[in-house]
Amino acid sequence: MIKLENIRYSYNSGESNEKTVLKDVNLDVEKGDFITIVGSNGAGKSTLLKLITGEIYPENGNYMLEGKKVNNSGMHKLSRKIGRVFQNPNGGVFNDLCIRENLIISSKKGMRSFRFGKYNDFGLELLGELNLGLENRLDIMAGELSGGQKQGLAMVMAVSSSPSLLLLDEHTASLDPVSAARVMELTKKINEKYGITIMMITHNTEFAANYGNRLLKITDGTLFELKDRKKMFVS
Amino acid sequence: MFPILEQGLIMGIMALGVFISFRVLNMPDLTVDGTFALGGAVTVSAMTIGLPVYISLAAACFISCLAGMATALIHRKLRINVLLAGILVMTMIYSVNLRIMDGPNLPVPKDQVINQMTSFEEESGEDPLADLFAEAGIADVKSADIPAVERRSAGNIFNGAQDGKDLVIICAFCAALVVLLFIFLKTEMGIALRGFGSNPDAIQAFGITKTSMTVFGLGIANTLVGLGGGLFSLYGGFADVSMGQGMIVTGLAIVMVGELFLGKRKFLFGLIAPLIGGIAYQCILAVAMRYGHVIGFKSSDMKLLTALFIISVISLSLLSSGKKRGKFKSNLKSMLKAGGR
């Protein structure tokens, strides 16, 4: 589904303060995978996700999405196939709109028409699966929700247009343990029940040990797969 | 009372544009100072060359929309700060207005001549020598069959009679605009525009470009400002190149006054707030002009008063949002920080 071949990326490329963050990264993601990525701060995890979403372009190498080379495709083009959730709960929702309008925006990708918007049933179904009762409070403003509720809504919005891939950038980092566990359960369900491929960055060792079918680690811009995940977390 | 209501509502239409850029898009667009005068200049010039008044107003809206889009494109494509982009376009519009009006100002034509006048005979439709012939007793001289010059009213929608008819027309404009904007902001595109103003980075994740939203949003905002300028010129009877000076501050003051009355939460109230604010602002203006001399106020102090008024409204809203003094201080600090960014 996603193939990265010899990907290289540097910040401030060509300048005196150039910093190479990704060095010859290779990755093959199959449809339905739930990949967990770990690594220390500054290792290049978020840069890798930015590159996959099209926010930044690779200097070298090939980035293939569903068999097509998309090295220099813009973010808005790739966003038709990729959903993402940020660390900050406010990053993925529209605080000045009500939940209904948030769902309307997320129900499809691309430019909008001048017709009255409708949210899709899938979005409402996902919202119900959060078990937060939000599906019955569609007219309250997203800005009035708690951090956990906002992150749940952001997850639903990222998935409701049925993307092929969902990118999660430390999406439970700013949540309390109960909200984080609830959001992680939804994450698992999205992968298992709806078959959406997931790439998740996390610093939480418990989540890294228990969620996902593949575990990757980035160290100094190099990506490698950890085959024996139990051994790693015990050590 | 009629002039206050009429002028207030016209300024309210302009402030609706400011509301779209400031509140919906969250963008301080200074193009407004230019497009207000541009709307007036295009309307009056179009009427001067014989176009009907509604076509003239439509032309003013269209040209003002293009100006707003130009600001958006300069901001997005050349990565110039939106404030600077607005100032650049506003500066350009000043020269454009002088060209459109062929001078610094232009009166709204009173009437239009349909066939060109060439002589007294054509103007009056009479033979100038008919009286002479009559005095000489030559009564059977046939006067030439000269067509009289046809004139028609230039079609200014306002009569300036303060009889309430102008107010009805302005109210009709306001009602139509509020209904249209309300419907538009509920459509997919309108919701996306509001979403862009709320969280511009997140909107990209749904396949919508920031550029398209900025161009579309500033286009609509300046269309409304241009329409306000056109109506203002028709109401005042002239267009002037400097009539838009300080309009952004006035528009912002009007939006804030309206929000004092109706609050910020529901966006339907947001659409009505500039109109209510426009009337309230004109009332304040009228009181200041009439009784201001008591405290040494001159009409030239109006801009100073308007800016001070905005500062007081912001301070009041900070005070009301944080009742405790400590909260007010922290609110003020965060606001100053945001201003510094």
User: Would you call B189 and A75 a contact, using CB atoms and an 8 Å cutoff?
Assistant: no
List, for residues B177-188, the tens digit of each pLDDT value: 999 999 999 999
* Residue A97 near chain B (CB below 8 Å): yes
- For B105-127, what is the mean pLDDT? 68
Which DSSP symbol is given to B23? I
Q: What is the pLDDT of residue B120?
A: 64
Give the Å distances, CA to CA, from B211 to A92, B153, B177, B204. 19, 44, 25, 10
The shortest C-alpha distance from A228 to chain B (Å) reads: 34
CA angle B189, B190, B193 (to 5 degrees): 90
> Are A97 and B194 a contacting pair, CB within 8 Å?
yes
Element (H, E) at A148: helix A147-159
CA B128, B131, B136, B138 dihedral sign is positive
By Cβ distance, the residue of A76, A108, A114 closest to B189 is: A114
User: Would you call B208 and A115 a contact, using CB atoms and an 8 Å cutoff?
Assistant: no
User: Would you call A115 and B188 a contact, using CB atoms and an 8 Å cutoff?
Assistant: yes
The shortest C-alpha distance from A234 to chain B (Å) reads: 37
User: Would you call B184 and A114 a contact, using CB atoms and an 8 Å cutoff?
Assistant: yes
**How many CB atoms sit inside 10 A of residue A194's CB?**
13
Give the Å distances, CA to CA, from B240 to B11, B38, B39. 16, 9, 10
- Residue entry with tokens 């100094």: A220
Which chain B residues have a beta carbon less than 8 Å from that of A90?
Answer: 199
Q: Report the SS3 class of residue A194.
A: helix
B198, B214, B269, best to mutate vs chain A, most A CBs in 10 Å: B198
Q: Report the SS3 class of residue B70.
A: helix
- Residue entry with tokens 């079918």: A213
Residue type, B70: A
Tell whether the model's pLDDT for residue B132 goes beyond 50: yes
Residues β-bridged to residue A34: A198
Q: What is the pLDDT of residue A121?
A: 87
> Helices B188-198 & A99-106, crossing angle to 10 degrees?
110
Per-residue pLDDT of chain A (235 residues; tens, 9 = 90+): 889 999 999 998 878 888 888 988 899 999 999 999 998 888 888 889 889 988 889 988 899 988 888 887 777 788 888 888 888 888 889 999 999 999 999 988 888 889 998 888 888 888 888 878 888 889 999 999 988 889 889 989 998 888 889 999 888 888 888 888 888 988 998 899 888 999 999 888 888 888 888 999 998 888 888 877 666 665 5
- Report the percentage of chain B scoring pLDDT > 70: 81
Q: What is the pLDDT of residue B295?
A: 81
Tell whether the model's pLDDT for residue B32 goes beyond 90: yes
Q: What is the pLDDT of residue B330?
A: 60
Which chain B residues have a beta carbon less than 8 Å from that of A161?
Answer: 206
Tell whether the model's pLDDT for residue B162 goes beyond 70: yes
B206-244: b (≥16 Cβ within 10 Å) or e = bbbbbebbbbbbbbbbbbbbbbbbbbbbbbbebbbbebb
Phi/psi at B314 (5° precision): -60, -45
User: Would you call A105 and B184 a contact, using CB atoms and an 8 Å cutoff?
Assistant: no
List, for residues B322-332, the tens digit of each pLDDT value: 554 555 556 55
ipTM of the complex model: 0.84
Whole-model pTM: value is 0.82
The shortest C-alpha distance from A88 to chain B (Å) reads: 11
User: Would you call B212 and A106 a contact, using CB atoms and an 8 Å cutoff?
Assistant: no
Return mean pLDDT, chain B.
Answer: 84
Name the H helices within B49-114: 53-77, 82-101
Which chain B residues have a beta carbon less than 8 Å from that of A81?
Answer: none
The shortest C-alpha distance from A197 to chain B (Å) reads: 17
Rounded CA gap, B230 and B235, in Å?
Answer: 9
By Cβ distance, the residue of B184, B194, B204 closest to A96 is: B194
The shortest C-alpha distance from A76 to chain B (Å) reads: 4
A141 closest CA partner among A153, A130, A158: A153
Higher-pLDDT residue of A162, B216? B216
Rounded CA gap, B283 and A11, in Å?
Answer: 57
List, for residues B272-329, the tens digit of each pLDDT value: 999 999 999 889 888 888 887 788 877 788 788 888 878 887 787 677 665 545 555 5
User: Would you call A104 and B186 a contact, using CB atoms and an 8 Å cutoff?
Assistant: no
The shortest C-alpha distance from A70 to chain B (Å) reads: 15
- For B235-264, what is the mean pLDDT? 88
Rounded CA gap, B105 and B40, in Å?
Answer: 10
Burial (CB count <10 Å: 0-12, 13-18, 19+), residue A165: buried
Which chain B residues have a beta carbon less than 8 Å from that of A80?
Answer: 207
User: Would you call B198 and A114 a contact, using CB atoms and an 8 Å cutoff?
Assistant: no
By Cβ distance, the residue of A77, A84, A141 closest to B205 is: A84
* Residue B195 near chain A (CB below 8 Å): yes
Q: What is the pLDDT of residue B126?
A: 67
Which chain A residues have a beta carbon less than 8 Å from that of B198?
Answer: 94-97
User: Would you call B206 and A101 a contact, using CB atoms and an 8 Å cutoff?
Assistant: no
List, for residues B44-83, the tens digit of each pLDDT value: 999 999 899 999 999 999 999 999 999 999 999 999 999 9
By Cβ distance, the residue of A109, A113, A116 closest to B206 is: A109
- Report the percentage of chain B scoring pLDDT > 90: 52
> Are A198 and A191 a contacting pair, CB within 8 Å?
yes
User: Would you call B194 and A97 a contact, using CB atoms and an 8 Å cutoff?
Assistant: yes
- Residue entry with tokens 């300024």: B11
Task: To the nearest 10°, report the CA torsion of A16, A22, A23, A25.
Answer: -160
* Residue A116 near chain B (CB below 8 Å): yes
Rounded CA gap, A29 and A213, in Å?
Answer: 11
CA angle B326, B332, B334 (to 5 degrees): 105
Task: Give the contacts of B140 (CB within 8 A, at least 6 positions apart).
Answer: none
By Cβ distance, the residue of A91, A95, A102 closest to B201 is: A91
The shortest C-alpha distance from B195 to chain A (Å) reads: 6
> Are A169 and A49 a contacting pair, CB within 8 Å?
yes
User: Would you call B201 and A76 a contact, using CB atoms and an 8 Å cutoff?
Assistant: no
By Cβ distance, the residue of B191, B195, B207 closest to A76 is: B207
A156 closest CA partner among A194, A208, A115: A194
B2 closest CA partner among B228, B167, B160: B167
Rounded CA gap, A132 and A181, in Å?
Answer: 13
